[in-house]
Structure 1
Amino acid sequence: MKIESIVTIKKELKHLPKEDLLELCLRLGKFKKENKALLTYLLFEAHDEDGYIASVKSTLDELFEGINTDSYFYMKKTIRKILRQIRVYSRYSLKKSTEVELLLYFCEHLNALRPSIHRNITLSNLYQRQLLSIKKKISVLHEDLQYDYNLQLEGLDR
């Protein structure tokens, strides 16, 4: 089966009646969990970005509470899993400020973890890479947001 381009799919969707579009959307939602999550975001949470960020932060809190701190090996696996979740949540929003805010929250939690992530080279490097990533993402935002986020970032850099 040849997969068509987005442009071709868009043209075809323009010719479909409303009922068929609704059926296609529901079928996409049933097909994969990420599709259903994206539809949920677009329908119920896209209008309230602050509420969306708060709900994602509460989800991240639960994930951080579940980290097995007995071994750095288990910590690394869980931390990478959390980071993947943040990337998925950020892709739903498409707003750079949302991604920056979630990554800053992630880094704050990493700093608060006990035993300290800075005693493990891999986790420390992951943390430093996230700080660099945040700096790059902040540079494309509005000046006022840049100032606010840079203040938060300086608090993490210490």
Structure 2
Amino acid sequence: MKSATVRELKAELQERSPKEILELCLRLSRFKKENKELLTYLLFEAVDEQAYIESVKEEIDEKFELVNRKSPYFVKKSIRSILNHTKKYIRYSQNKESELELLIYFCQKLKSFQPSIRRNRKVETLYFRLIEECKKKTHLLHEDLQYDYFRELQGLENLK
């Protein structure tokens, strides 16, 4: 089955009644956890973006505490998993400031992580790539915000 384009879907949804759209949304939420999470964000959490960011930060904290530190392989795997979850929450928000705030927070947690990420070359490389990604995204923001985020990023560049 070939899926329809966004334009076709939009046209079809405009022809449907509100009750039918409600049923479609509920049916869609049953199929994939991410659909349900996105719907939850849009309905309940998009109103207060700062509270959403704080809840994601708390989840990041919890996941960093549960990282398996037995071998560098497990550390890398766990950190990548946390980053994937963080990026998923960023996709829900689609707010550049929220994206930067969460990525910088992730980098701060990674910098203070024990055992040090300097012992694991792949995790260290991931860390510096994230810093560079944040710098590029900072240029898309208002000048006042750019200054604040650049200062935070400068503090993260040094891994000591």
- Tell me whether the two structures share a fold, i.e. TM-score over 0.5: yes
What residue in structure 2 maps to residue 77 of structure 1?
77
RMSD across aligned C-alpha pairs, in angstroms?
0.7
What residue in structure 2 maps to residue 5 of structure 1?
5
Give the aligned length.
158
Q: Does 1:36 align with 2:36?
A: yes
Distance in 2 between residues matched to 1:121 and 1:144, nearest whole Å:
34
What residue in structure 2 maps to residue 132 of structure 1?
132
List aligned pairs for 1:14-29, cutoff 5 A. Answer: 14-29=14-29
1:70 Cα offset (Å): 1.9
Q: Secondary structure at the match of 1:2?
A: coil
1:28 Cα offset (Å): 0.8
Q: Secondary structure at the match of 1:3?
A: coil
Q: Secondary structure at the match of 1:128?
A: helix
Q: Provide, for residues 74-96 of structure 1, a one-character-per-residue CA deviation record: whole Å limited to 9, x for no partner.
A: 10000000110111000000111
Q: Provide, for residues 7-27 of structure 1, a one-character-per-residue CA deviation record: whole Å limited to 9, x for no partner.
A: 000000000001000000001
TM-score of the superposed pair, with normalisation by structure 1 = 0.98
Q: List runs of 5+ in structure 2 lacking aligned partners.
A: none
1:120 Cα offset (Å): 1.5
Distance in 2 between residues matched to 1:15 and 1:140, nearest whole Å:
37
Q: Provide, for residues 45-86 of structure 1, a one-character-per-residue CA deviation record: whole Å limited to 9, x for no partner.
A: 101100000000001111000001121111000000011011
Distance in 2 between residues matched to 1:2 and 1:75, nearest whole Å:
40
Distance in 2 between residues matched to 1:15 and 1:78, nearest whole Å:
46
TM-score of the superposed pair, with normalisation by structure 2 = 0.97
Distance in 1 between residues matched to 2:120 and 2:65, nearest whole Å:
20
Q: List runs of 5+ in structure 1 lacking aligned partners.
A: none
Distance in 1 between residues matched to 2:38 and 2:71, nearest whole Å:
34
Q: Does 1:58 align with 2:58?
A: yes
Identity %: 52
